[in-house]
Amino acid sequence: MAFVGLMMSAGWCVAGEPIVLSDEVQLRPIEPGAWMVVHRFAGGNNSLLVQCVERRFVWVDTPCTEDATRLVHEWLARTFADPNVIQINTGFHNDNLGGNGYLLAQGVPCYGSDLTPRLIAECWAETVRKVLPYFERPENEKYRDILVHQKLVAPNRLYPLADGLMLKVGPETVEVHFPGPSHTIDNVVVYFRNRRLLFGGCMVKALAARGPGFTGDADMAAWPASAHKLLARYPDARLVVPGHGAWGDLALVRHTVELCRQYNERQR
């Protein structure tokens, strides 16, 4: 969820100079051809843009709004000749797919699990109700009306959640995997095999995180085991990007497991 970004701060990430598109949107280079897109919407919210080959790009998650998504897409069009983009949504919250409406209007295919559209329809309004008190804080009031009136658009390329998805984009193999419920019951991760780059999204917490963040849609009992499965499935991952805060390595996954275990202990 967008607001949990305020609880995050820098970890150990080492980056090049950020590409600033507005006061609220910037791209932070991770390595050549890979950028962490940060949208400040009541906190920092991450998506991941990867150049797989020449003009072919995979964008994992969107900024929280269509306007912020447009800024990034327009930068891409200015910077690369006739870019071909696909979008992968990792969950049903606005920091996963708030920009889908704009992207679909531009002809960008948006991949998501078959559970995600149902959660948008059945759960998003209640999620907004749960978080509104947070947006009453003076520093967040400017985002409140946007959140209340936002209409989320579902992905248009669906796959069975339990099966995941495998995409071949040029030489890159992109795996979308569901290890089990976590921050939401539809959160997936995305692994770029050649780069050994894992986008953990909201399932994975930054090293600076001191708790699991928003738990209103989480399966806290399952989250530790779901996150732990990532260590076995992607032992060679060298870069891990969380949904909020700084990227790092697999230490972020281990940190997430411990945070969730500690949270569950406190609830007993």
Residue 238: how many other CB atoms lie within 10 Å? 12
The Cα–Cα gap between 233 and 228 comes to 9
Question: Between 138 and 178, where is the model more confident?
Answer: 178
Residue-wise pLDDT tens digits, 45-63: 999 999 999 999 999 999 9
CA distances from 45 to 19, 125, 190 (A): 16, 20, 16
Residue 9 pLDDT more than 50? no
Q: Where are the alpha helices (DSSP H) in 23-93?
A: 66-79
Q: What is the CATH number of the domain that holds 243?
A: 3.60.15.10
> With bands split at pLDDT 50, 70 and 90, how would you rate the model's confidence at 134?
confident
Confidence (pLDDT) at 5: 39
> With bands split at pLDDT 50, 70 and 90, how would you rate the model's confidence at 1?
low
Confidence (pLDDT) at 48: 99
Number of domains in the chain: 1
Q: Residue with structure tokens 């709004």?
A: 65
| Domain enclosing residue 206, as ranges | 2-267
Q: Which of 180, 200, 182, 193 is nearest to 251 (CA)?
A: 200
Residue-wise pLDDT tens digits, 61-111: 999 999 999 999 999 999 999 999 999 999 999 999 999 999 999 999 999
Confidence (pLDDT) at 15: 54
Q: Where are the alpha helices (DSSP H) in 113-246?
A: 116-131, 141-149, 223-233
